[in-house]
Every structure is written in C-alpha cells, then in structure tokens.
Amino acid sequence: MYSKMLVLRFPKDIVNEPIIANLVRDYDLNFNILKATVYPRREGMVVMELQGQGRNDYNRGIRYLERRGVIVDTVAQDIQRDMDKCFECGACTAVCPTGALHIERPSMHVQFDPEKCSGCELCVNTCPVRAMIVSIDRAEAL
C-alpha cells in the first residue's frame, strides 16, 4: 500500500465536479478526508490521505488531479516547527495522533516527521510557545 497526506486545492470552476469519486472509480485509490473547506463557486481545499495498492495507481491519480487543474501539495509543505521558539517540552507529542511529533530516546529530543503529519493542528493549540506553524488553510482566505 502506498499513501501520502495531501492538500488538494480546487479551482472554483471545478469544485462541483465528482473528482474524488473519479479517483476511487477510475484509479482504484482510497482516501480518508481529514479536513475540507468547499463552497459552491469558490476555491476549495481538502486535506486527505490518499492510498493506492501501488505507486503506479497513486501517480496516475495524481496526474489526473493535475490535469483537472487541482493543485496538489503534500501536507508537509504547509507545516513547520520554529526551532527558535521550541524548547522541546514534549507537550505536542502527547496529542499528535499520527506520531509525526515524537520523543527520540534516549536523547529525549522532540522529533518532527512532516511526512506523517495530517495537519490536524492539535499541536498548535497544545504548544505553550506556539512553535508549530500550520498554513494549510490558504484557500479559505481566497
């Protein structure tokens, strides 16, 4: 199984089309929508985990999305940790549902793997110094 956490940004002229349904039917992909902001006649944004049996099916699906005009980014591109602020208290690791934030033993340093991050933003609210920066919702402002 091949999967990635993605942010899909839909142009307003295709937001009403069954693009995700086509991914399932035509490209044999599975998905798990984690967050979505979609309105009629406005640009939309979906955070999802997209899975395929192999990399080939996954890549074919991504090419389909891009041909339709969907902007495809990994969630990792929109998540950052400000190391100048972070003092590695570990509070974020307690709430991270995907294990993207975890404590490395025996050093006890907080590690961040952006490829595992789902963009849930639980770490943002938990961090006492707001060291985590999530900028996924750009489409909402458009």
Instruction: Assess whether the region 2-75 and the region 77-141 belong to the same CATH fold.
Output: yes
Over the chain (142 residues), what is each successive 10-residue block's mean pLDDT?
90 92 94 89 91 92 96 85 93 93 94 86 92 70 36
Would you identify the CATH topology of the domain 77-141? Answer: Alpha-Beta Plaits (3.30.70)
pLDDT of residue 139: 40
Cβ neighbours of residue 106 under 8 Å, at least 6 residues apart?
Answer: none
Q: Where are the domains of the chain?
A: 2-75, 77-141
For domain 2-75, the CATH architecture is: 2-Layer Sandwich (3.30)
pLDDT of residue 116: 85
d(CA 56, CA 58): 5
48 neighbors 56 (Cβ within 8 angstroms): no
pLDDT of residue 136: 74
Residue the block writes with tokens 């294990």: 99
pLDDT of residue 121: 87
